[in-house]
Each structure stands twice: as C-alpha cells, then as structure tokens.
Chain A
Amino acid sequence: MTDDAVTQGEIDALYERLYKEAEAGGYHLNPDVEFTKQLIRGLLVNERRYGYWSCPCRLASGNKQEDLDIICPCDYRDPDISQHGACYCALYVIDAIFRGERRAAPIPERRPPLERRAQAVGTRISGFGRASLPLPVWRCRVCGYLCARDGPPDVCPVCKAKKERFERFA
C-alpha cells in the first residue's frame, strides 16, 4: 500500500510548512501536535492516492472536480471555524482552542450531499451582481483582499488587519 510510503520526515516537514502558513494567514493549526500530524499523514496519503489533499475525514470520490470543495483547506473551513471553533477534521481551529482554553470536538458535516452540491455550483455561476450573489463580498480596507462569505474573517489572511477593517463590497 502506498500509505506506508509516507515518512515521518514528510509529515514533519508539511506540519512545519502548514503551521507557518496558517499563522501567516490568520489561522491556527490544532495545538494537539500528535493529532494534527495524523491528519497531515492522511493528507499525504490522499495526495498519493488521488493527487490532491482531499480531507482525511471525508470520503473522496477520486474525481478532482467532484472533490474540489473538500481539498484542504476546504470550502467549509471558514464557516465551520466561525460556528464550531474548528474545521470538520479539526486541522484548523480558533484562537481559544489554539491557546488551550477549549478543546476541539467533533462537529456535524456541513458539506451538502452530492445532489445538492451540484445545485449549489449551478447557483454560483448563474449570475453576477449584488442581488444574485450567493454570498456577500467583503473587502479588506487595508489591502484590498476580497472574500465571499457570510461575514468578514476575524483577521485578514493577507495583511493581518482585524475584522473591523473590512467593508461590504458587493
């Protein structure tokens, strides 16, 4: 099995890389290093199997187009972190968990079933303009970073500006 080909060195290297990138982008990796490295091992196994970092805690189809929304960091990370304090697999967590004030717990699956995912994509590409956008667009007034989600992120992933520096853009 290719699973066995994932080495501890690879896991450690990717952990270091993701840790730095998370911190640079205003995110945090789960502070339970052993847990987090097991997730990273799963990402590397999935990379071997499918060619991309499919979420280790979700069943990949092996078809990249179908799995795009669960390639890490997944489409559901930000809303799950906002609502539950961690993403689905708990690789990424909020500040309170990062600091050890709270523990990551299992959360419900936000990803819609296959048939509703197809509909969601159809909605997204069907029109353009504020009225037809499926999500509001938020703009970082500091650096111009744009993101489409229910509310602005706590910290701008590009320039680290705080939530209050965001304005509604569309």
Chain B
Amino acid sequence: MGRLFVVVTYQKVVPSAILLAVVLQPDRPFLPRKESEVSFTHVDGRDVGPVMLYALSTCVWCRKTRNLLEELGVAYDYEYVDLLVGPERTEAMNTVRKWNAACSFPTLIVKDKCIVGFMEDQIREALK
C-alpha cells in the first residue's frame, strides 16, 4: 500500500528512468489505479494507528503540520488535494467535508478524531 512497496516491486522490471519518474512525481504516479481510490502517500514511522493528512502542496500551515508529524516520528499518510483532479479530487473533498464542513486545510484525521488547522498542541496531544 505504501509507495515504497510499489517502487521496490517495480525495481526489478522497469528501466531506471521510469523508476525515477515515479520517485520524482510521487503525487502523480504513472501506475494505474482504481478510479475511486485516492492515493495517499505513506510516510514511515512509529505506528500510532491510522493518521491521515489532507493537505495542499502550496500551504505553509500544511507544511508545518507535516514537519510536526515528522518531528514526532509517527507513521502517516498524506494527500495533496490540490494536485488531484476529477473524481479523485471530488472523493477526497467529500471525505474532508465529512470531518470538516469548512473544507479547509490542513485536515488531520487521527483515528476517529479530526484536527483542523496547524493546532500544534492538539496534534501533539492526539499523537502521544
């Protein structure tokens, strides 16, 4: 499920140029996907259960949130919604809307809890 797995699998069969394209464009992999499947990028770390971050690639508060997650060393998945198009974006936004009616970013979902915005204390508390 992690991209790492995909890359490792393909390493044996695809030329390095294509492999490089996968690595350099993690948000737009050339690999076919199920249409209804939003493709999260996985970041390895300490397992604290599901941690999903809906973010924008241009947003500095989203960047701060990712930096905090990485400082905390937790495993998480993120999606840059601004890089999605068509049904993938619609599906991601439908999920965000369920948790956060304002549909703002970052929207961080930790198990069954949603944290909207770079709320550092709340994020630290939720990921203890």
Contact = CB atoms under 8 A, between A and B. Distances in A.
Interface of A: 1, 3, 35, 38-39, 41-42, 45-46, 56-60, 89-90, 106-109, 111, 113
B116 to A, nearest CB: 8
Contact of B60 (A35, A59, A113): A35
Contact of B117 (A39, A108, A113): A108
Nearest to A39: B60
Interface stretch (B8-16, B45-53, B68-76, B96-104): B96-104
A38 B56 contact: no
Given A59-B105, A113-B101, A89 B119 contact: no
A125 B112 CA distance: 43
B78 interface: no
Nearest to A107: B117
Contacts of A109: 102, 104
Tell me if A's interface is mostly helix, strand, loop or mixed. Answer: loop
B60 A57 contact: yes
A109 B56 CA distance: 15
Given A111-B102, A113-B103, 12 more contacts: A1-B28, A3-B57, A35-B60, A38-B60, A42-B60, A46-B58, A59-B93, A59-B103, A60-B82, A89-B61, A106-B118, A108-B104
Interface of B: 25, 28, 56-63, 81-82, 93, 101-105, 116-119
8 contacts: A42-B59, A56-B58, A57-B56, A57-B62, A58-B104, A59-B56, A107-B117, A108-B104
Nearest to A32: B60
B39 to A, nearest CB: 16
A56 B118 contact: no
Contact of B81 (A3, A59, A90, A108): A59
Nearest to B58: A42
Contacts of B101: 113
Contacts of A45: 57-58
